[in-house]
Structure 1
Amino acid sequence: MEQSNQKVARIGMVKYLNTAPIHEKWITSVQRDDWQLVEEAPSVLCKKLDEGTIDLGFVSSIEYGKHPEKYKILSGLSISANGPVASVVLLSHVPLNQLDGADLLLTSQSETSVQLVKIILEEFHKVTPKYHTGDILEAGKDKFKAILAIGDDALRLVESATYLYQFDLGDIWKRQTGLPFVYAVCAVREDFCESHPEMLADIHRELLRCRDEGVADLEAICEISAARIPLSKKKCRDYLLAIQYDLSPQKCKALEAFFQFLIKRKTIQEKALPLKMFANLS
């Protein structure tokens, strides 16, 4: 009876290549009956965190921005890049300045990347396409002038796509703002923070350990993960070297800048700032 009443922490993680350093270390080194790993697409994890069917996890940055009253951000953890990222890509038949009024297919897997491409097109380049949402892998090549692809889908499409232009959104954001971009944060529900602070601190420490060990062991991570895409081990390593997993003050500044655009565009409310952090590692 005592075991059945034990709190089980439900931890969300995306099984994309970009999370592999943390994900692979977690599944091979963390053995806790009271910690359950939940693997889903980013959009599904956002919904589960919002509904309370997971307690914490790596979710699209905008999920925190939409519901800041529900969450805190675990310090030191992100999925981010300081420039090109290769897995958040706008594939297009025409240059960006010719996309005004054009049909553009958006991935349904990550709202953060959707909002980023809208900022890049509408704020930076002053064009507004006709947006559609759907399965980018099933998209007809002639139906859409451009498609937004993320994660492993983007890596596959970049390898085989016939689109003339490939725009890396992280690269464009960096050139426009001078800042890195934070694609995902590790958010935790406020109610879990309050009811299980010691368990949360233990989970936080293990995630940081997995982050550090995974980054230090990219060769082994690529041996395991490259074939899933598929990519060569060299391309896998080059890709993972561009992904960053910390949440430095500069990354927090970048996240704030993204949220300021979203507040200006009335996509999220002003209460998304300042950021609320969980950093109880004592």
Structure 2
Amino acid sequence: MNKQVTSDIVRIGMVNYINVAPIYEPWKRREAEVGWNVVEAIPSKLNRMLAEGELDLGFVSCYEYGAHPELYRILPDLSISANGPVGSVFLFSRVPVKKLDGQRVLLTSQSETSVSLTKVALEEFFNVQPEYVTGEVMSELRDECAAVLAIGDDALRLTQEGNFSHQLDLGEVWKKNTGLPFVFAVCAVREEFCQQNPLLLSMVHKRLLECRSEGNSRLDDICKIAAPKIPMEVDRCKAYLKGIQYDLDEKKREALEQFFSYLIKRGDASPGALPLKVHSFT
């Protein structure tokens, strides 16, 4: 029998976009626990680090869980979601979306979830098949493309610039076509960490829920910290963050199942992604 390995050290991935500020800013205000190490990065980097065992848990693209479900469990009651417009995942287009067939569409390299959602939306909902290219959204490459997928802070900046005649909020498109919210990120934990450190995992989960509660109650203060990072007006930041949800209720689990069903059908996710493996602390 293998000896169980326990540790007081946990490596936590945190998305470095302002959409996680209502959890992360309260986290930073609290006294750091010894051994609780946080890594800030874009979603695609956190995905890689979690998959390669460089992190124990973190907010990662839900795509990462769908691609490698055998590695993870989903922590309950935590996500980055929207029930309709999300305000920071946009397809910016120079032509009407239905005219993007055969056109070049630049996809951000920062999030596999949003890339997959874009492909589902364009191909399944609008029945168009563009030519996809991947690269940095804020580079000159976007000038060569008919449309651009931008997420997070980049999307907020492009919205501020207003240089595209058509702007598609992909959270809104998903809601219109499925009737469901969309889960952009989950808090995934590596399977072996669940087995080896159940008490530590419970403590971290409790702290994340406490920070979420504090962030919701201090949203005005959070926005004063977060808004200058774009930069954007505090009132607009508050309107944006009020549209982001951080729970994982029954409807959001149903939404994850629907999204993974699309990805499995397309060959973009593992069939093992369903049924969902949501961790239980009981």
TM-score of the superposed pair, with normalisation by structure 2: 0.96
Q: Which runs of 5 or more residues in structure 1 are unaligned? A: none
Question: Which residue of structure 2 aligns with residue 88 of structure 1?
Answer: 89
CA–CA separation in structure 2 for the residues paired with 1:122 and 1:105: 15
Match of 1:154 in 2: 155
Identity within the alignment, %: 53
Match for residue 57 of structure 2? 56
**Residue of structure 2 equivalent to 1:173:** 174
Report the RMSD for the aligned CA atoms in angstroms. 1.1
Give the residue type in structure 2 aligned to 1:247: L
Instruction: Kindly indicate whether the alpha-carbon contact (under 8 Å) linking 1:43 and 1:60 is maintained by their aligned counterparts in 2.
Output: yes
Question: Equivalences for 1:231-250 in 2 at 5 Å?
Answer: 231-250=232-251
Residue by residue over 1:133-183, the C-alpha shift from the partner in whole angstroms, topping out at 9 and shown as x without a partner, is 001101345410000000000000111031100000000100000000000
- Residue of structure 2 equivalent to 1:192: 193
C-alpha separation in 1, matches of 2:131 and 2:176? 25
The residue aligned with 1:205 is 206
**Alpha-carbon offset, residue 36 of structure 1:** 0.3
Contact map agreement 2:104 2:146 (CA 8 A) in 1:
yes
Deviations 1:176-208 (A, max 9, x none): 000000000000000000000000000000001
The residue that corresponds to 2:229 in the other structure is 228
Secondary structure class of the residue paired with 2:102: coil
**Structure 1 residue 215 displacement after superposition:** 1.3
Which deviations, in whole Å up to 9, do the C-alpha atoms of 1:2-35 show, x marking residues without a partner? xxx9541000001211000001011111420110
Give the alignment of 1:5-154 within 5 angstroms. 7-140=8-141, 142-154=143-155
**Are 1:92 and 1:166, in contact at CA under 8 Å, matched by a contact in 2?**
yes
Answer whether contact 1:80 1:245 (CA < 8 A) is retained.
yes
Normalising by structure 1, report the TM-score: 0.96
Contact kept, 8 Å, 1:11 with 1:36, in 2: the verdict is yes
Query: 2-side partners of 1:276 and 1:141: how far apart?
Result: 38
Single out whichever of 184-193 and 259-268 deviates more from structure 2: 259-268
Question: What runs of 5+ residues in structure 2 fail to find an aligned partner?
Answer: 1-5
Which 10-residue stretch deviates more, 108-117 or 134-143?
134-143
Distance 1:193 1:142 in 2: 46
The aligned length equals 277
CA distance in 2, matches of 1:150, 1:72: 25
CA distance in 2, matches of 1:73, 1:25: 22
Q: Is the 8 A contact 1:6 1:34 kept in 2?
A: no
